[in-house]
Amino acid sequence: MNDSVSTQKDAGAAEQASAAPHTIYLKDYQPPAYRIDATELRVDIGEQSARVSASLTFERQAKNCDSLFLHGESLELISVAINDRTLAADQYKVDTKGLTLFNPPESFTLQTEVVIYPKQNTSLDGLYKSRSIYCTQCEAEGFRKITYFLDRPDVMSDFTTTIIADRASCPILLSNGNRIDSGMLEDGRHFATWHDPFKKPAYLFALVAGDLASIKDEFITQSGRKVALEIFVESKDLDKCDHAMSSLKNSMSWDEKIYGREYDLDIFMIVAVDDFNMGAMENKGLNIFNTSCVLAKPETTTDIGFQRVEAVVAHEYFHNWSGNRVTCRDWFQLSLKEGFTVYRDSCFSADMGSSTVKRVEDVSLLRAHQFPEDAGPMAHPIRPASFIEISNFYTVTIYEKGAEVVRMLANLLGPIEFRKATDLYFDRHDGQAVTTEEFVQAMADVSGRDLTQFKRWYDQAGTPQLKVTDHYHEPSRQYSLTFSQSTPATPECSDKKPFHIPVAIGLLGSAGELALKLDGEELTDLPEDNTHRVLELTQAEQTFVFNDIPEHPVPSLLRGFSAPVKLSFAYSRQDLAELMQRDSDGFNRWEASQNLALGVLDDAILAYRQGDLTEFKVDPLLLDSYRKLLNDDQLDRAMVALMLTLPSQDYIAEQYQVVEVEAIYNARRLLAKTIAKELNAELRKCLMSYDNSQPYRADADSIAARSLKNTALAYLMLEPSQADIEYCVAQFNNANNMTDEMAALSALVYSESALVGDHGKTALANFYVKWQGEALVVNQWLSLQARDPRPNALLRVEDLLQHPAFDAANPNKIRSVIGAFCMANPINFHTGLPDDSSAGYRFLADQVIALDAKNPQMAARLITPLTRWRRYSSKRGQAMRAQLERIQASAGLSGDSYEIVSKSL
Ligand code: B3K
Ligand code: ZN
């Protein structure tokens, strides 16, 4: 955010209000003209409105300043004074974007009083009401909806907050830091005053008032300080907080052990609310969470749900250092805190469970969502150069690709130097608001490496394509690998310079992995584990030659997915089968299984195009390889499950210029059914060897065993025998945990077999009756139906919107029904209804238009599938485009949706 720009914008706000939203550029960044050293807030919450009094201590930093613009939106100004003197009308100006003070003194205290309306705030940004709880969401620019302020992350202030509310309905009053005072007032009202000893930007401010119950615990830090831990929820949810609490404690010790980072306040609080635009928010000392990322117990929460709670609790906790103690100078630097923190939470989850499984999950997410973003109209570098609405930049690119970039740095430096570099970064910048430059500089200073070229990862969008060829020269026993990199044009730049790409490799010989010696390397240079090497690419084309290679090997390339690139190498299917079985790199074993499946899927897609999928024969090599997996007792069960799972429709679509929705869907389904038939005995054996009577446990081995059993069940239920159906129904009825119950439910509902009859319908109805009191379980039930690939899903989705369980104002419900249908049910979204093939697109546009007026951030996010219109056949693409145009033409469109739509057209 840039002050000079916002001043210009706001200087003409009367005209601006109806004009198209405008673009803000990183190159225009100017430091703020004033600091706000201290912020005293008094928030008096009433039934209909809240009154916010602010006293802000300003100190000029710039040489001079004729007018000072403070952000403020949807505020009713009651009074404004400087140093206790009410301002005359010509000393200030108010418009829809903020308050301008004319000729402010060098240092002064500003006193303002405003009225706001939390109950009417449907944007869930600023101070709002979620069911009976008042809460805030200030990142990125929500604080300006609470009071007038320099609402930008490089303005860090000392906050003291007094909250006043009715004691009966709001017994709990929370804000950041430590509670320093509390007491009763007249008329049954009470107050609490909180002081946060750490200066912070306004986006980390938080306030909560409501009737909450809590569980308490404590943590002793490595230096022996006692920290009180408290998780606040509605009392009905008290039995679902233990997992979040143990995840929090695990995160606190992990951050001490791995990064040497200790928690700094005496209390750490988490509050769960039902209405939340994102997963959670890292407000200093007072994290506010979506209930979906806190509450967990085996009966109501799947294994994936448990893991998500653990990961999000950790992520928000880790922000205390990567984000709060060291924060962002401006919002272009968002990945400074988000990329780094995702990297940190990903390593934490890897350490808590299986690191290979976690890597596969992260890479799958990146490929299914970030790669398409990077190839579409919203492509942006992890440090964007411009934006219209920052809320649109909380993207998979900033988060997940940002994490990949930090991972590459960590791997280039190695664990010891990376730790030294993060220590240096935290120490050097503690209490500061900095840029990604400073982060990389700490890495460069510690390692002595020149990271100039590496920094292109921060400025160039697009996924690099890495083409690899090899050559073996038997007489000289030399093996060479040639890499050529290129990056497709993206909206911000068409001429990409080569990236610095670390490529981890190994070479498989017939009897095992080969010792590696690069041409020119001395024997003394060789690392201890000499079967693994990281090649650093810096040129558009580069060849690496290995000496003393006894045979033509199968290269294992990009081990552990060492860089976020699309790699291609002409593997034979036999090579892939070898890698699947023998690669010492677990990730690449999985990768080989995916590539083998992609090859077979490509055969099937071709057959579909030619109209004879019925005659299609699946390559027996894939079936044999899967059979070996199922018979391999040594392999981690979770890995077997992952390797047996076909590439997602999104990832298959990524392989083609034009997405042929029906071809991909039918090819994938046919292959799945063939696997179910051909490997029937092995799959059934896998199912039978699982002991359903064991008590539920959430450790990695138990999760792995359940995941394999349920993968086998899903396959078997595609072409089930009567016995399979009975097994599935029994699992559904008797499961002691939601993972098994959900797996059985979806297998019954999605099965197209006539034998299954009404079992699916009955199970769905029974499930709702059983769980209607548990909102998060009902969300899973809604989502399962919205994702149902069988024909006419849109009709069922429209019915769901009328169901009493649906709530058009709740983001979790919107995601579970509208989001799930449009993003996770491609066959129905893109084919619509039998007599109206664009019905899915029109449905989405209708929903976006209706939602945009209430919650623009959510509306803008939902538009994503339509933005990909260029990837589809021209008829389909034009139909999608027409709906984008409809959204664009709708009256009063928000800046959020305007940005997405206008960039996509
Ligand atoms: N930092 C928050 C995201 C806030 C998004 C605001 N639109 C959550 C997180 O990444 O931890
Ligand atoms: Zn974050």
Write the pLDDT tens digit of every residue in 145-172. Answer: 999 999 999 999 999 999 999 999 999 9
**Structural domain containing residue 364:** 327-459
Residues 446 and 387 placed together within one structural domain of the fold: yes
Q: How close is the Cα of 140 to the center of ligand 1, in Å?
A: 8
- Indicate whether 686 belongs to any domain: no
Query: What is the rounded average pLDDT of the residues 370-397?
Result: 98
Q: Given this model, what pLDDT does residue 19 score?
A: 56
Whole-angstrom Cα distance, residue 72 to residue 82?
17
**Boundary of a domain, candidates 516, 539, 564:** 564
Query: Strand pairing of 433-434 and 327-328?
Result: parallel
Residue where the block lists tokens 């209607």: 772
Residues 450 and 516 placed together within one structural domain of the fold: no
Closest ligand (CA of 280): 1
Closest ligand (CA of 281): 1
The CATH number of whichever domain residue 85 belongs to comes to 2.60.40.1730
Q: What is the pLDDT of residues 844-855, one digit of tens each?
A: 999 999 999 999
Q: For residue 647, is pLDDT > 80?
A: yes
Q: Given this model, what pLDDT does residue 9 score?
A: 37
Residues 73 and 199 placed together within one structural domain of the fold: yes
Residues 448 and 528 placed together within one structural domain of the fold: no
Q: How close is the Cα of 865 to the center of ligand 1, in Å?
A: 22
Q: How close is the Cα of 36 to the center of ligand 1, in Å?
A: 24
Please answer whether residues 41 and 95 qualify as being in contact, where contact means their C-beta atoms are separated by less than 8 angstroms.
no
Q: For residue 455, is pLDDT > 60?
A: yes
Q: For residue 2, is pLDDT > 80?
A: no
Q: Which atom of ligand 1 is nearest to the CA of 139?
A: 6
The CATH number of whichever domain residue 431 belongs to comes to 1.10.390.10
Query: What is the rounded average pLDDT of the residues 509-532?
Result: 88
Query: What is the rounded average pLDDT of the residues 738-751?
Result: 98
Terminal alpha carbon distance of the chain: 26
- Indicate whether 783 belongs to any domain: no
Look at 15 and 862; give whichever has higher pLDDT.
862
Nearest CA-CA partner of 434 in 156, 639, 671, 634: 156
873 SS3 class: coil
Nearest CA-CA partner of 75 in 117, 110, 109: 117
Q: Which atom of ligand 1 is nearest to the CA of 137?
A: 6
**Boundary of a domain, candidates 564, 582, 598:** 564
Q: How close is the Cα of 339 to the center of ligand 2, in Å?
A: 8
Please name the residue whose Cα sits nearest to atom 3 of ligand 1: 281
474: annotated active-site residue: no
Please answer whether residues 667 and 604 qualify as being in contact, where contact means their C-beta atoms are separated by less than 8 angstroms.
yes
Angle, helices 586-609 vs 355-365, to 10°: value is: 40
Pocket test residue of 135, 138, 145, 281 for ligand 1, highest count of atoms within 8 A of CB:
281
Residues 162 and 92 placed together within one structural domain of the fold: yes
**pLDDT-based confidence at 15, cuts 50/70/90?**
very low
| CB neighbour list of residue 869: distance below 8 Å, 6 or more residues apart | 876, 877, 878, 880, 881, 884, 904
Closest ligand (CA of 403): 2
Closest ligand (CA of 337): 2
Please name the residue whose Cα sits nearest to atom 7 of ligand 1: 391
Please name the residue whose Cα sits nearest to atom 2 of ligand 1: 281
What is residue 202's DSSP assignment? G
Query: What is the rounded average pLDDT of the residues 443-458?
Result: 98
Q: Which atom of ligand 1 is nearest to the CA of 857?
A: 7
- Indicate whether 455 belongs to any domain: yes
Residue where the block lists tokens 């200087």: 11
Q: Given this model, what pLDDT does residue 5 score?
A: 36
Please name the residue whose Cα sits nearest to atom 5 of ligand 1: 139
- Indicate whether 505 belongs to any domain: yes
Whole-angstrom Cα distance, residue 529 to residue 649?
38
Whole-angstrom Cα distance, residue 532 to residue 588?
13
Closest ligand (CA of 206): 1
Whole-angstrom Cα distance, residue 105 to residue 603?
74
- Selecting among 316, 338, 361, 373, the annotated active-site residue is 316
Please name the residue whose Cα sits nearest to atom 4 of ligand 1: 139
Q: What is the pLDDT of residues 60-69, one digit of tens each?
A: 999 999 999 9
- Indicate whether 308 belongs to any domain: no
Please answer whether residues 185 and 191 qualify as being in contact, where contact means their C-beta atoms are separated by less than 8 angstroms.
yes
Cα distances (Å, whole numbers) of residue 636 to 521, 639, 642, 703: 36, 5, 10, 11
Please name the residue whose Cα sits nearest to atom 9 of ligand 1: 281
Residues 430 and 473 placed together within one structural domain of the fold: no
Q: How close is the Cα of 223 to the center of ligand 2, in Å?
A: 26
Q: How close is the Cα of 761 to the center of ligand 2, in Å?
A: 40
Whole-angstrom Cα distance, residue 716 to residue 159?
59
Pocket test residue of 123, 278, 318, 392 for ligand 1, highest count of atoms within 8 A of CB:
278
**Boundary of a domain, candidates 211, 240, 264:** 211
Asked if omega into 845 is within 30° of 0 (cis), the reply is no
Nearest CA-CA partner of 396 in 411, 410, 376: 376
Please name the residue whose Cα sits nearest to atom 8 of ligand 1: 281
Q: Which atom of ligand 1 is nearest to the CA of 316?
A: 11
Q: Given this model, what pLDDT does residue 10 score?
A: 39
Q: How close is the Cα of 8 to the center of ligand 2, in Å?
A: 31
Q: For residue 292, is pLDDT > 90?
A: yes
Most distant CA atoms of the chain, gap in Å: 95
Whole-angstrom Cα distance, residue 582 to residue 576?
10
Residues 43 and 169 placed together within one structural domain of the fold: yes
Whole-angstrom Cα distance, residue 194 to residue 162?
6
Angle (CA) 765-770-771 rounded to 5° is 100
Amino acid at 138: C
| CB neighbour list of residue 68: distance below 8 Å, 6 or more residues apart | 33, 34, 58, 100, 101, 104
Amino acid at 710: N
Whole-angstrom Cα distance, residue 271 to residue 291?
9
Average pLDDT of the residues of the chain: 96
- Indicate whether 693 belongs to any domain: no
206 SS3 class: coil
Q: How close is the Cα of 394 to the center of ligand 2, in Å?
A: 9
Q: Which atom of ligand 1 is nearest to the CA of 390?
A: 7
Q: What is the pLDDT of residues 68-114, one digit of tens each?
A: 999 999 999 999 999 999 999 999 999 999 999 999 999 999 999 99
Q: What is the pLDDT of residues 190-211, one digit of tens each?
A: 999 999 999 999 999 999 999 9
Nearest CA-CA partner of 899 in 889, 885, 886, 888: 888
Residue where the block lists tokens 């790669």: 371
Q: How close is the Cα of 883 to the center of ligand 2, in Å?
A: 32
Amino acid at 361: E
Residues 82 and 204 placed together within one structural domain of the fold: yes
Distance of CA 530 to the CA centre of its chain: 36
| CB neighbour list of residue 484: distance below 8 Å, 6 or more residues apart | 466, 467, 540, 541, 542
Residues 185 and 56 placed together within one structural domain of the fold: yes
Whole-angstrom Cα distance, residue 787 to residue 780?
10
**pLDDT-based confidence at 528, cuts 50/70/90?**
confident
Closest ligand (CA of 394): 1
| CB neighbour list of residue 639: distance below 8 Å, 6 or more residues apart | 354, 356, 357, 360, 586, 589, 590, 704
Residue where the block lists tokens 């693409």: 877
pTM over 0.95: yes
Please answer whether residues 735 and 741 qualify as being in contact, where contact means their C-beta atoms are separated by less than 8 angstroms.
yes
Nearest CA-CA partner of 460 in 540, 381, 572: 381
Angle, helices 242-259 vs 334-352, to 10°: value is: 110
Q: Which atom of ligand 1 is nearest to the CA of 315?
A: 11
Q: How close is the Cα of 337 to the center of ligand 2, in Å?
A: 7
Whole-angstrom Cα distance, residue 535 to residue 500?
10
Q: Given this model, what pLDDT does residue 7 score?
A: 36
C-alpha gyration radius of the chain: 28
Please name the residue whose Cα sits nearest to atom 6 of ligand 1: 139
Whole-angstrom Cα distance, residue 287 to residue 285?
6
Q: Which atom of ligand 1 is nearest to the CA of 391?
A: 7
Residues 379 and 485 placed together within one structural domain of the fold: no
Please answer whether residues 468 and 567 qualify as being in contact, where contact means their C-beta atoms are separated by less than 8 angstroms.
yes
Please name the residue whose Cα sits nearest to atom 1 of ligand 1: 281
Q: How close is the Cα of 853 to the center of ligand 2, in Å?
A: 26
Whole-angstrom Cα distance, residue 502 to residue 492?
25
Residues whose beta carbon lies within 6 Å of some atom of ligand 1: 139-140, 278, 280-282, 315-316, 319, 338, 391, 394
Query: What is the rounded average pLDDT of the residues 708-713?
Result: 98
Residues 125 and 151 placed together within one structural domain of the fold: yes
Q: What is the number of domains present in the chain?
A: 3
Query: What is the rounded average pLDDT of the residues 461-489?
Result: 98
Q: Given this model, what pLDDT does residue 30 score?
A: 97
Please name the residue whose Cα sits nearest to atom 10 of ligand 1: 338
Q: Which two tokens mark 481? A: 């690998």
- Indicate whether 312 belongs to any domain: no
Please answer whether residues 228 and 249 qualify as being in contact, where contact means their C-beta atoms are separated by less than 8 angstroms.
no
Residue where the block lists tokens 């912020």: 39
Q: How close is the Cα of 286 to the center of ligand 2, in Å?
A: 14
Residues 79 and 168 placed together within one structural domain of the fold: yes
Cα distances (Å, whole numbers) of residue 149 to 39, 201, 369, 623: 9, 10, 36, 63
Pocket test residue of 139, 273, 309, 336 for ligand 1, highest count of atoms within 8 A of CB:
139
The CATH number of whichever domain residue 518 belongs to comes to 2.60.40.1840
Q: What percent of the chain has pLDDT over 90?
A: 95
Q: Which atom of ligand 1 is nearest to the CA of 282?
A: 11
Q: Given this model, what pLDDT does residue 525 score?
A: 74
Q: Which atom of ligand 1 is nearest to the CA of 277?
A: 7
Q: Given this model, what pLDDT does residue 20 score?
A: 72
- Indicate whether 673 belongs to any domain: no
Q: For residue 227, is pLDDT > 80?
A: yes
